[in-house]
């Protein structure tokens, strides 16, 4: 399997890198302090076709395959300093656009996809609840059938893009007793009566990516708002997570690449004890390890992307998400060591990148959960099949009758 980027893929990545460097993330320090996304940046991304990357041309998309999307998003991350913007873009594309594309009716596709592509609408994906995080199927949000529609009740937490979303993909159960088989998905428009959004929590990192708490109280939606069939929510979620875990952190590959390049330049220009610090093995080896982690994360991301069109049994999405998130945290910690005291200041972006990376080990499933899922898919934690021990023949008497003392 050849995962080397083509000239066309590299050219697109280069254009998005230049866009990110020149037009996106301006005044990131001030906006991060105010926990604010720059609306103009979202519009610029829409005009550049970023929101349209994986969607068919029939709905205004560019029709790119997942691997091309991964390469393109790495290029964007290489140029753009605003990791929060990149996270919001990913949540919109992979967890909203893709489920609508794969499970929506033609009416739903025509209504939502063109507007999601060109930036007229922003999407959010509402799954997490107070008691349902990694245990995503332990949902308490209810969907009660009422006439020709449904009534939704429940609360969703930590919803990326919630304060700015025009449509939210909400997961609720039609019957808690059914467990994961009762989960059903709904597309809920922002102006739907009974839906309220509140920004209750401030984040350690990714501060320019808005998130909030969504409350549904007697929120009535028509049957046409249901995405897919009733009780199909677990399948929809599985596909959304496969795409999100494969590609959500692709921009972070570019961020790591930019950080490594800066560390190389700094190690060649910073002098201590009469020579450049890059001449010290401790520094040189640390940067080499940073590069090795990046290379491994990129390969796993590209492998996961290349398999998205196939069966869902592969652990490639979990491996890509786990490796990239852990690599990012380690890389930015190493960068801080290379820069020393300067790396601990806000002027180098290192501390902000580190804070942003910490959250990637939690979002879309914690690192621990990724290992649990991988163990299941590898068959490690599968229940062993019970086998009956061989039955001893019954003891019999000389004439074939069963003896009374037989056990």
**106 has catalytic annotation:** no
The sign of the dihedral angle between the CA atoms of 38, 40, 46, 49 is: negative
Residue with tokens 């990913």: 90
Rounded to an integer, what distance in angstroms lies between the CA atom of residue 323 and that of residue 201?
Answer: 27
Q: Choose, from 74, 129, 244, 318, the residue flagged as catalytic.
A: 244
- Bridge-based pairing of strands 211-222 and 149-160 is antiparallel
| 374 neighbors 322 (Cβ within 8 angstroms) | yes
- Bridge partners of 222? 149
Residues recognised as catalytic: 244
């Amino acid at each position: 399997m050849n995962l080397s980027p083509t000239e066309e893929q590299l050219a697109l990545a280069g254009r998005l890198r230049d866009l990110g460097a020149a037009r996106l993330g301006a005044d990131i320090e001030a906006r991060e302090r105010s926990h604010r996304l720059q609306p103009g940046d979202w519009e610029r991304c829409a005009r550049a076709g970023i929101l349209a990357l994986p969607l068919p041309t029939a709905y205004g998309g560019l029709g790119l395959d997942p691997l091309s999307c991964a390469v393109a998003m790495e290029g964007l991350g290489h140029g753009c300093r605003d990791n929060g913007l990149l996270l919001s873009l990913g949540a919109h594309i992979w967890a909203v656009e893709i489920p609508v594309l794969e499970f929506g009716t033609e009416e739903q596709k025509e209504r939502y996809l063109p507007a999601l592509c060109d930036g007229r609408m922003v999407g959010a994906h509402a799954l997490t609840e107070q008691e349902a995080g990694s245990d995503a199927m332990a949902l308490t949000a209810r969907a009660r059938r009422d006439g020709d529609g449904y009534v939704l009740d429940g609360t969703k937490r930590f919803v990326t893009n919630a304060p700015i979303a025009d449509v939210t993909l909400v997961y609720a159960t039609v019957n808690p007793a059914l467990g994961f088989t009762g989960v059903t998905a709904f597309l809920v428009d922002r102006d739907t009566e009974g839906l309220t959004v509140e920004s209750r929590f401030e984040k350690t990192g990714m501060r320019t990516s808005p998130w909030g708490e969504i409350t549904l109280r007697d929120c009535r939606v028509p049957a046409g708002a249901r995405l897919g069939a009733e009780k199909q929510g677990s399948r929809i979620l599985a596909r959304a997570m496969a795409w999100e875990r494969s590609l959500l952190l692709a921009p972070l590959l570019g961020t790591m690449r930019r950080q490594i390049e800066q560390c190389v330049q700094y190690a060649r220009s910073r002098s201590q004890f009469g020579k450049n610090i890059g001449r010290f093995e401790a520094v040189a080896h640390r940067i080499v390890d940073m590069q090795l982690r990046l290379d491994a994360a990129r390969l796993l991301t590209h492998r996961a992307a290349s398999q998205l069109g196939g069966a869902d049994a592969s652990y490639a999405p979990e491996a890509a998400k786990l490796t990239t998130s852990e690599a990012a945290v380690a890389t930015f910690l190493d960068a801080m060591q290379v820069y020393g005291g300067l790396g601990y200041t806000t002027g180098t972006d290192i501390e902000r990148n580190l804070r942003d990376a910490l959250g990637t080990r939690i979002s879309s499933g914690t690192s621990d959960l990724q290992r649990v899922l991988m163990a299941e898919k590898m068959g490690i934690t599968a229940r062993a099949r019970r086998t009956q021990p061989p039955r001893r023949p019954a003891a019999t008497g000389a004439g074939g009758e069963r003896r009374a003392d037989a056990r």
